[in-house]
């Protein structure tokens, strides 16, 4: 699945838990692909999900994965970000962990999710 495909699935789902499961499934599939295919999965511009927070999260995810693989972030990802911080896992403990451990690509866009939430998938 490409990130653009993930955006379509996220747009069709309204429940946070279901959306996050889709992200986890994308990450699992991404890691199973040969490294030479990774950039292709990130390059197509995802359509809007209907929620700017999720649009920013997908942009952060694209940059984070590309950087981990030694590539530049897709050009489309630069324009997506939030003016107000978002903590997808919004409990006091999760907020504290996200403030300390959010990857740079996520911080830059105002999305605070701990790296282990992303890397565990």
Distances (CA, A) of 12 to 9, 36, 43, 46, 78: 5, 29, 21, 13, 24
Q: What is the pLDDT of residue 121?
A: 57
Total tally of structural domains belonging to the chain? 1
Q: What is the pTM of this model?
A: 0.94
Which domain does 105 fall in, by range?
3-119
Each residue's pLDDT tens digit in the chain (121 positions)?
999 999 999 999 999 999 999 999 999 999 999 999 999 999 999 999 999 999 999 999 999 999 999 999 999 999 999 999 999 999 999 999 999 999 999 999 999 999 999 886 5
């Amino acid at each position: 699945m490409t990130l653009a495909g993930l955006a379509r699935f996220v747009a069709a789902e309204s429940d946070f838990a279901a959306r996050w499961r889709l992200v986890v499934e994308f990450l699992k599939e991404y890691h199973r692909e040969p490294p030479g295919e990774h950039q292709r999965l990130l390059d197509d511009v995802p359509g809007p999900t209907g929620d700017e927070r999720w649009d920013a999260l997908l942009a952060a995810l694209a940059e984070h994965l590309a950087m981990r693989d030694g590539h530049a972030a897709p050009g489309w990802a630069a324009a997506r970000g939030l003016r107000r911080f978002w903590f997808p896992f919004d409990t006091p403990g999760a907020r504290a962990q996200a403030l300390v451990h959010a990857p740079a690509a996520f911080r830059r866009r105002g999305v605070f999710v701990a790296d282990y939430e992303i890397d565990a998938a």
